[in-house]
Amino acid sequence: MADKTTKPDGVVLLSGGNPQIAKGEGDAPVKAYIAAMPGWKSDIGRKLDALIEKTVPGVRKAVKWNSPFYGVEGEGWFLSYHCFAKYIKLTFFRGTSLDPVPPVSSKTNETRYFHIHEGEALDERQLAAWISQASALPGERL
């Protein structure tokens, strides 16, 4: 069984510090997830959410499998992220179609990852380019 800790606000953090947030559609569960992200990760979560909203007006949001998902209505999900002990993993479901291709490979053919570590400056221009490209592709149907 995964290691769990409970924060003072009652949110359970799973192994690696990933918040356990109930599955749900819309902005509220995503904001709850971001608020529950531990330490520096919560600030990054807020920046990612704002960048995604700015880049893809009207973006569809949900929490599934204890991770925020972002998509285009009727087109599926293009991006998700998840907390690990030492980084946040951004998942681009059609990542091999992005230019440049995000650096971390996956067991899934089209999926690529980008890891964000504490203290690293976010290249918001590159992230926005990936987000824009990913949102224009057919999304993942989950």
What sign results for the dihedral spanned by CA atoms 107, 86, 34, 98? negative
Please indicate, yes or no, if residue 142 is contained in any of the structural domains.
no
pLDDT at 7: 57
CATH number for position 112? 3.90.1150
pLDDT of residue 8: 54
Residue 123 forms part of a structural domain: yes
* 46 inside domain: yes
The model's pTM is 0.91
pLDDT of residue 1: 42
Q: Is residue 140 part of a domain?
A: no
Domains: count for the chain = 1
Q: What is the mean pLDDT of each run of 10 residues along the chain (142 residues)?
A: 58 80 94 94 97 98 96 96 96 97 95 97 96 96 86
Tokens 């880049």 map to which residue?
Answer: 55
22 assigned to some structural domain: yes
Domain residues for the domain of 42 are 5-135
Is residue 141 one of the residues assigned to a domain? Answer: no
Q: Which residues 6+ apart lie within 8 Å of 29 measured at CB?
A: 21, 22, 23, 61, 62, 63, 68
